[in-house]
Amino acid sequence: MTDIHPVPSWLTGIEEQAAGRMPTFPVGEDGEGRRSAVLMLFGPRDGGGEDIVLTQRADTLRQHAGQVSFPGGGVDPQDASPQETALREAHEEIGLDRAGVRVLGTLPSLPLSVTGFHVTPVVAWWESPSPVRAAEAEVARVERVPIADLMDPANRFTAIAPARRFAAPAFEVDGLYIWGFTAIVLDALLTLTGHTLPWDESDERVVPERYRRR
């Protein structure tokens, strides 16, 4: 029988915790745009602690090629909710078995001025983890990144893109360069739940050109 891992206490009631407490997204703007959803899938690690699933997008994609992201994508007409979108896209991108996933809630929808999408982050707990793999057409790499590594001050810095007047928290873990929307939402949620340590926000690094492709 497959073990069922209980939701950690810091993720309990996450939707209520986030209400009115998530920061304004610094590169977004109001307006109409296509709706999309991403899955912030946290899971248990052997030996204790938690991790989160992140993907590196394929270099052949037209938008955000090579960038690190959460599994997710645009809402299809048959999707009944952002949760349905996020789970469907995660199945398509990494082969996720949704039967082992417990959705905990959604965070406020965030507009992305660069792509015109309005993105709803869906927070979930992987209570019964199963194998995942990268879908070659869309995803080059899929990783379960330990929360402890994201908290490590040595892996944190401020990413800047002068042409966009962009400066925001970023991470670099195990060869994954995490910046932009993904890093901002991840930083906000970790801060909200008390999973941050003091880090050098004055350590400013220009985002490499290969990660700035739209």
Decide which of 213 and 10 is more confident.
10
Residue 204's pLDDT band (cuts 50, 70, 90): very high
- Bigger pLDDT: 139 vs 33: 139
Helix intervals (H) in the chain? 14-18, 82-94, 147-151, 180-192
Kindly give, in sequence order, each residue whose CB lies less than 8 Å from that of residue 54, ignoring residues fewer than 6 positions away. 68, 69, 70, 142, 143, 145, 176, 178, 182
Better-scored residue on pLDDT, 101 or 35: 101
Give the model's pLDDT for residue 33.
Answer: 61
Q: Specify the pLDDT at position 211.
A: 79
Which has the closest alpha carbon to 191: 160, 154, 156, 166? 156
Length of the chain: 214
Give the pLDDT of residue 31. 46
Per-residue pLDDT band at 3 (split at 50, 70, 90): confident
- What's the CA gap between 173 and 37, in Å, rounded? 24
Strands 156-161 and 166-173: antiparallel
The distance from CA 204 to its chain's CA centroid, rounded to whole angstroms, is 22
More reliable by pLDDT, 214 or 87: 87
